[in-house]
Each structure stands twice: as C-alpha cells, then as structure tokens.
Chains A and B, each alone.
Chain A
Amino acid sequence: KAGVTQTPRYLIKTRGQQVTLSCSPISGHRSVSWYQQTPGQGLQFLFEYFSETQRNKGNFPGRFSGRQFSNSRSEMNVSTLELGDSALYLCASSWTGHKGDTQYFGPGTRLTVL
C-alpha cells in the first residue's frame, strides 16, 4: 500500500506571496493532519481534517488554512508569506482519527521564503 504523498517536495517563495501544499493520504485513511517543523519551535500541530471538516486546530494565525476533498486528499494554504514561515510542512494520515489511531507521516514539503 502506498504511503502518504506530499507535493511539491521543495518550494521557494518570496515574502507576501501565497502557497498551496498538497497531501494524499494512505488509501482508506480519512483523517489528515498537518504539522509545521522549524528549528526553533520543533514540530507543531496546525490542523486536522476529517470528512471534509476541520475538526481540530492548533495555535497558528489565520494566514494558515486548509481543506479536505471528498477523496480525503487535503491541501493547506499559507497567504501573505513571512520569512518565519520557512519550514518543513508535514502531513499525516490515519483511518478515522478516533481512539488515538496511529498517524503515518509523509516526506514533507520544504518551504523556503526569501
């Protein structure tokens, strides 16, 4: 079974631009979570989607948003990019997200903001 895939793997943007990252979960998984990893803050939870609805959200500004499609694929968007948004963005999927079922991570998208 294929793992979680993320596209693109690398991205370079400039301040003020916006960016959209994509995540395809493991087949059959319906919950998708997004995390940001930076050297200073480590791995931090952004939000989680299940059945096209945002079910949980971390402590990030409104510039960070996401959505999930009926096939469980998910996208996250960052508007008005800042230098501090440079990070590894990770997507993780699980069957339903209930009862603490295991999350499996993709390889990440490395975003560099210049």
Chain B
Amino acid sequence: DAKTTQPTSMDCAEGRAANLPCNHSTISGNEYVYWYRQIHSQGPQYIIHGLKNNETNEMASLIITEDRKSSTLILPHATLRDTAVYYCIVRVADSGNTPLVFGKGTRLSVIA
C-alpha cells in the first residue's frame, strides 16, 4: 500500500502557484520523497525528489517539513499543460532497487 496521503483533487487558476500537499507521517530516515505526474494516458513524468532539504529544479520546488512527515510540491506559475495527476511517493534509498509504489494521487486541474 502507498505510504502517502494526498487530496483527491485540486483546482488552480492559470498563472498562479499550485501547492500540492502530501502527508507521509510514517516516513523513515532513509526514505526519499518523490513526485511524479501523469498527463492523461501518458507515462508518468519525474518532477523532483528530496530527502530532508528543500529542493528546486526547473519544473518545481519541493518543501519538506522539518519533521519530514509532510511535504508540498509547488508549481510556481501553473499553466494549462500542468493539468495532470500528481503522485507523491515515499521510497527507500538504499542499495538495491525498490519499486515505486503509486497511490491514487491528486488530480490537478488548471483553469484558464
């Protein structure tokens, strides 16, 4: 089972920041938080991941709380093309390859 809890759906106005929350209260010290998104019927697209520090790349920012029990993915200026299902995934980062365990994600609708 997925180890994260996300809202089922969210709306965001085009041009505004989209803030997608994720709860992972049982996260362990050696687990990363990953974010992927899936635009309708396409393969999931990697967005960003982090362990305990906040991270930023060209797509988004990831804010992880100090106790690591929750995080927020921020899309700074949402566009219509950001409409997708966003998955927050907790994954062990040790030797060996652990598979990604997807939950139901958050369906983000960006509205013009």
Contacts and interface: CB of A to CB of B under 8 A. Distances in A.
Given A100-B32, A100-B91, A100-B92, A88 B97 contact: no
Nearest to A33: B99
Interface in A57-100: 58, 88, 90, 92, 94, 96-100
Contacts of A105: 36, 43-46
A43 B44 contact: yes
Given A42-B104, A100-B91, A55 B43 contact: no
B24 to A, nearest CB: 15
Interface residues of B, number: 25
Chain A at the B interface: mostly helix, strand, loop or mixed? strand
Nearest to A102: B46
Contacts of A104: 46
Interface of A: 4, 31, 33, 35, 42-45, 48, 50, 55-56, 58, 88, 90, 92, 94, 96-100, 102-108, 110
Interface in B82-101: 87, 91-101
Contacts of A100: 32, 91-94, 97-98
